[in-house]
Structure 1
Amino acid sequence: MHTIFLVLLVVAAVVAANAVYARFNAVPVAFLQIAAGLLLALTPLYRDFELEPEVFLLAIISVLMFNDGQNTSIRKLTRQLGTTLSLAVVLAIITILVVGTVTHFLIPQFSLALALALGAIITPTDAVAVSSITTNMAVPEKVMETLENESLFNDASGIVAFNLAIAAVITGKFSVTAGVQNFLYVFIGGIILGLILGYLIVRVRIALINRRVDTPSVIVPYTLLTPFAVYLIAEAFGVSGILAVVATGLIHGIQQGRLRLTTSRLQIVMSTTWSIVASILNGIVFVLLGVSLPSVIIHLQQRDTGSVLILVGLGVLLYAVMTFVRFLWCRMDMAKVAAENRQEQTKNSLILALSGVHGTITLAMAFSLPLTLGGHSFTYRNDIIFIASVVILTSLLVPTLILPRILPKQVSQVTEAQLAQAKTAMVDDAIKMIQDRHGTSPNANAVMMILAGQRPVEAAPNKAKLDALFDAAYQIEQKTINEMYQAGTISAQMLNWYLRVARTTNLQNQQSFRQRLSFFIRFIVVSKISLDKAARQRRHEFRLLRRQQQSLARDKMAEIKRRSWTQLKEIEQKPYDAVIAYLIDSYTPENETEISLVRRAYEERHRRLSGTKADQEAQNELLIEAFQQEHNFIQNQAAVKNYNRALSNELYEQISTDQLVYMQSVNAD
């Protein structure tokens, strides 16, 4: 229980750091997460906090690598396969050897195997960390693709090399021939096993979807458990669990495009879930870096007061060596860098070198070092963790300071005006299609009304005008329903029930807490003061009816409620018509935005109250047809070059979101 509490506090620290970053993004989120960890380290709870090393490989690295794999474009990966392998395998191995040699030469106390293990830890790059420090910079697209593909496989290369080096440290023996053979078996075997397992897992997932067992409560947990299962199976076979997880993720990425349109809800839930999981796991590692640093430094100082400065210098030097090797590798064209001339090649090579940011995988491998060797405490474990921490911090700080001087600021490829214009045209096309095919039937009108809600609001609403319209609409409803009661059309119970629904509509759409509170007080206090005899009689009748209902059996109460709800649907039409008529009469060009918002709120409520299950199913089908038409519209516009890729992607994303929201709204009625 104590460990669970500590982990939950770490997650809370991640959330707090992310919340600060959402408002103040001048500092990379990784630094904020490290700072949050340092604050936790000040509390006695985390004085001796440690997680088992295996937890990082299984619970953090495998999940992150699977997510990276399923978000990787196979087309882009195969197009840059040569460059990716050059950076992620060949350059990674060379860097490990160079770093290991330099470390062993400068600190002879580190055996060569231990120095190579350090090299394997600090070699992998982190594309997510790069993105966090280049948020407002225009990184060349080809360079960013190269970094993403590289980080996918050099993590695995580093982990495989790390495992081999640690095995050599533990056994004290290392054979080059045996090491190469083991590397190939672990590397290639992991990929092959991952592809096989990925194919089988995807086949099961498709079978579940085809049999309509595609609810998020089934598919999301099934997918979340996938990296754990694949990792454990691969490790049982003695191959790389991380590479197996990457390969399985790639197979899942291919399968994503085969989902039917009707599974858009599932896709959005899946995407959101994985985005949150990946963000939390990445943040946990950086928070743990902040938590661990003080205790690591204290242990180092207790052993030797000068060791901290020596290790800081070594960490900075190793970062400089790795950056220089990366630059030379790219500049000498050992990895193909997209460039039109030598000057651009030099610039892109420098960007690639500086973007070799080290993050989650590096720190996670450092934490996964064994606590003991040969039954004794691992003497240099804190040293390696500290060096890895220095490399991470340096690799984050240097590009944060230098890249803004090299790269231009990020310029949005799509303006708000372009997006609004394109979305309006897309919605109008879908509405025209529904009207042409299905006429003006009630279901078609309801769907066209829903689609009209997709149109962007042209201008920000005037709060005072909006509140005045909602208050006036409520007064009209109140007047109309009172007239119906005075005419004997409805009962006192239905009068009070409807007014409660109308009051809820008004309160939900007030624009500030002060205005909501003012309206609520006015409604309660003023209405009580102005109650006449008829109103008090209605309240008395309602109380009597409520007491009678409480005395009825449960099934009788359910029947009364069902009938009352049916009656409410029937009487809602007249007040609704009165409100719509008022809004139409009140329309002016100056209040177009406010009128549109109020009308949309009342039309949505009317649709929910007046719809039946059969209507909802029919509307569901029409909505699917309309959303498909919107997809087709974007494809046609992109085909004739009217919309660029960025604009098309923005529209696709908004369609998916709108589909989820509106389909859930229809199904919830």
Structure 2
Amino acid sequence: MQTVFLVLLLVAAVVVANAVYARFNQVPVAFLQIGAGLILSLIPLYQDFELEPEIFLFVIISILMFNDGQNTNVRKLSHQFGTTLSLAVVLAIVTIFIVGILTHQLIPEFSLALALALGAIITPTDAVAVSSITTKVAIPDEVMTTLENESLFNDASGIVAFNLAIAAIVTGQFSVWHGITNFLYVFVGGIIVGLVLGYVIVAIRIMLINMRVDTPSVIVPYTLLTPFVVYFLAESLGVSGILAVVATGLIHGVQSDRLRLTTSRLQIVMSTTWSIVASILNGIVFVLLGVSLPSVIKHLQQRDTGSVAVLIGLGVLLYLVMTLVRFFWTRFDLARIRAWDTHEKTRNAFVMGLSGVHGTITLAMAFSLPLTLNGSAFPYRNDIIFVAAVVILTSLLVPTILLPLTLPKQTVKVTEEELASAKAEMVTHAIQLMQARHGNNVGTGKVIEILSGQRTLDGRPKRSELSQLFDATFDVEQQTINQMVDRDEITPQAADKYMRLASQTRLQNQQTFFKRFKLFFRFAMVKWSLTKKARARRKAFRQYHARHGQERSELMSRHREMWQQMRAIEQQPYDAVLAYLSKTITAENQQAIGIVRRAYDERHRRLSGERDLQDVQNELLIEAFQLEYNFIQNQLANKTYSAELGNQLYEQISTDQLVYLQSVNTD
């Protein structure tokens, strides 16, 4: 139970950090997550917190690598295959050896195998971390694609090299020839196993779809279990489980493109689920870094007061060395990136060097170091974790400062304000046409309510605005009732009863939450304070009516007649209110109009006893969506909207249609 509670706290810390980043995105989200972890470290439960190393590889890394694989553009990957292979395999191996030898020379206490393990840990790059720190600068598309493809496979290269180094540490033996052949077997074997398992798993999934067993409750868990199964089987065969997972992810990515239109609803659910899972797992790793740092630093200081300073210097030096190696590797075309001239080539190489950001995989491998070796504590485990943390923080800080000085600012083609304004215009246009074609009825009202949800919500309208609207609609009802009395359609007594009902509608919707709570509390107190004598009096009253059943029946009959009379009266004021709301609706007050209309629609349903006609409503909503499509086409034809704005609006309508039809099919 305690473990479950600790994990839930980690997830909560990720959610809080992401929420803060959504409002204040000047600081990379990784720093916020580390800060959340530092706060969690103050909780006694997290003192000396340790997570089993195997959990990182099996639970966290396998899922993240599978998700990266299925989101990779295979066409671009094949186009840049030579460059990707050069960066992700050759450069990764060269960097591991440079870092390992340099570390061993500077700190002889680190054996060569341990130093190579450190090199394998800090070599992999993280394209997601790059994206988080470059949201405000424009990285060239060719460079960004190269970074994404590189991070997909150099993670696997680092992990394979890491496992070989750990094996050498455990056994105390290392052969260069054996290491190379073992690396090739593990690397190539992992890819082959992943491709085979990927095709099998995809074939089963297609079979389930053809058998109409393609509900999200089946396919989503099936896909979530895939990386675990592939990783376990690959490791059982002695090949790289991570590379197998990546290869399977690539096969799933190709299959998803092929089935994107035939299973659109499932694709949306799948992509959303994987996006959330990957975001949470990425965040958990950084939160764990924040949780573990105080404990790591404490252990280092207990051993040697100078250890922390030495390891900080080592981490910064290793980052600078790796950055220079990456710069020269791309500058001298050992990994080709398309450029028009020497200046652009130098700039791309500089960006590639700075964009060697290290993140989730580096941390996960550092935490996956064994806790013990031959029955005793693993040597220098805290040192390696600390150096990895320094490298990660440095690789996040340096490009955050330098890239904006090198690259132009990111240009936003469509601002949030433009999109919100266009949505409001589109929805208002559709609502006005629907009202003109079909009038004001329950079906149209429900469609208008659904369309109003397409707008970008800027919070609930001001209470003063709602109060003014309810006052205005009450006046419309009063005028309509007076006209009905003047025409002798209803009696003054019936008009008075109806206006009391209309007054209740206005008061209920104008009262604040505290006023409603006050009325509820007063009612509860009055009910509680009834004396036994009053209860006895009510009991005697009921007994009297039980003995005089005829009188009670007449009373109930008069009550039903009154409601029938209200139903007959209510239609004209209701139509007048809807007509008034239709005339006064604008893009600015549309949300407030929607709230007022819903209040009157609910009252109308209660009085009239009408129920929503689902089929009619569906037809009206499909028509409304088509009106929105037509509106966008006209705006694009008139060049009022840009192509980018039109595409975003088209995407909004398509998604809304799919979500609505999905909810209809599941009702």
Instruction: Determine if the TM-score, normalized by the shorter chain, exceeds 0.5.
Output: yes
Partners of 1:114 and 1:169 within 8 A in 2? yes
2:581 matches 1:581: no
Deviations along 1:9-60, one digit per CA (max 9) or x if unpaired, are: 2222222222222232222121121122222223322222101000000111
Deviations along 1:488-538, one digit per CA (max 9) or x if unpaired, are: 99xx9x999x9999689x74xx7xxx8454578689999xxxxxxxxxxxx
The CA distance in 2 between the partners of 1:640 and 1:89, in whole Å, is 52
The CA distance in 1 between the partners of 2:188 and 2:241, in whole Å, is 11
The CA distance in 2 between the partners of 1:485 and 1:152, in whole Å, is 77
* 1:234 counterpart letter in structure 2: A
The 1:575–1:441 alpha-carbon spacing in structure 2 relative to 1, beyond 3 Å, is: closer
Match of 1:659 in 2: 657
Deviations along 1:230-253, one digit per CA (max 9) or x if unpaired, are: 211211122211111112222222
The 1:477–1:444 alpha-carbon spacing in structure 2 relative to 1, beyond 3 Å, is: closer
Unmatched 5+ stretches in structure 1: 527-539, 549-567
2:584 matches 1:602: no
Match of 2:26 in 1: 26
Match of 1:295 in 2: 295
* 2:408 counterpart letter in structure 1: P
2:268 matches 1:268: yes
2:117 matches 1:122: no
* 1:203 counterpart letter in structure 2: A
Partners of 1:37 and 1:289 within 8 A in 2? yes
The 1:218–1:642 alpha-carbon spacing in structure 2 relative to 1, beyond 3 Å, is: farther
Partners of 1:462 and 1:594 within 8 A in 2? no
The CA distance in 2 between the partners of 1:294 and 1:426, in whole Å, is 54
| TM-superposed deviation, 1:467 | 3.5
The CA distance in 2 between the partners of 1:22 and 1:383, in whole Å, is 34
The 1:7–1:110 alpha-carbon spacing in structure 2 relative to 1, beyond 3 Å, is: same
| TM-superposed deviation, 1:216 | 2.9
2:236 matches 1:241: no
The CA distance in 1 between the partners of 2:624 and 2:210, in whole Å, is 23
The 1:304–1:219 alpha-carbon spacing in structure 2 relative to 1, beyond 3 Å, is: same
Match of 2:58 in 1: 58
| TM-superposed deviation, 1:176 | 2.5
The CA distance in 1 between the partners of 2:317 and 2:598, in whole Å, is 66
Match of 1:315 in 2: 315
| TM-superposed deviation, 1:643 | 8.1
SS in structure 2 opposite 1:98? Answer: helix
The CA distance in 2 between the partners of 1:176 and 1:624, in whole Å, is 67
The CA distance in 2 between the partners of 1:149 and 1:628, in whole Å, is 40
Partners of 1:450 and 1:662 within 8 A in 2? no
Deviations along 1:566-618, one digit per CA (max 9) or x if unpaired, are: xx9999897476334224346667966436752586379859969879x5357
The CA distance in 2 between the partners of 1:79 and 1:282, in whole Å, is 28
**Equivalences for 1:381-396 in 2 at 5 Å?**
381-396=381-396
The 1:232–1:523 alpha-carbon spacing in structure 2 relative to 1, beyond 3 Å, is: closer
2:133 matches 1:136: no
* 2:171 counterpart letter in structure 1: T
Deviations along 1:371-402, one digit per CA (max 9) or x if unpaired, are: 12223221121111111111111111111221
The CA distance in 2 between the partners of 1:57 and 1:573, in whole Å, is 70
The CA distance in 2 between the partners of 1:269 and 1:148, in whole Å, is 24
Partners of 1:62 and 1:231 within 8 A in 2? yes
Match of 2:88 in 1: 88
Match of 1:201 in 2: 201
Q: Return the TM-score normalized by structure 2.
A: 0.79
Partners of 1:126 and 1:358 within 8 A in 2? yes
Partners of 2:260 and 2:267 within 8 A in 1? no
The CA distance in 2 between the partners of 1:454 and 1:55, in whole Å, is 42
Match of 1:350 in 2: 350
The CA distance in 2 between the partners of 1:517 and 1:167, in whole Å, is 67
| TM-superposed deviation, 1:356 | 0.7
Instruction: Calculate percent identity across the aligned residue pairs.
Output: 63
Between Structure 1 and Structure 2, whose CA radius of gyration is higher?
Answer: 2
SS in structure 1 opposite 2:145? Answer: helix
SS in structure 1 opposite 2:350? Answer: helix
The CA distance in 1 between the partners of 2:120 and 2:150, in whole Å, is 15
Q: Return the TM-score normalized by structure 1.
A: 0.78
CA RMSD of the aligned region, Å?
4.8
| TM-superposed deviation, 1:323 | 0.3
Match of 1:401 in 2: 401
Match of 1:327 in 2: 327
The 1:584–1:658 alpha-carbon spacing in structure 2 relative to 1, beyond 3 Å, is: same
Deviations along 1:207-263, one digit per CA (max 9) or x if unpaired, are: 333444333333322222221122112111222111111122222222333446585
Match of 1:149 in 2: 149
**Equivalences for 1:120-519 in 2 at 5 Å?**
120-259=120-259, 263-416=263-416, 419=419, 449=448, 453=452, 464-470=464-470, 472-473=472-473, 507=509, 515-518=512-515
Partners of 2:127 and 2:357 within 8 A in 1? yes
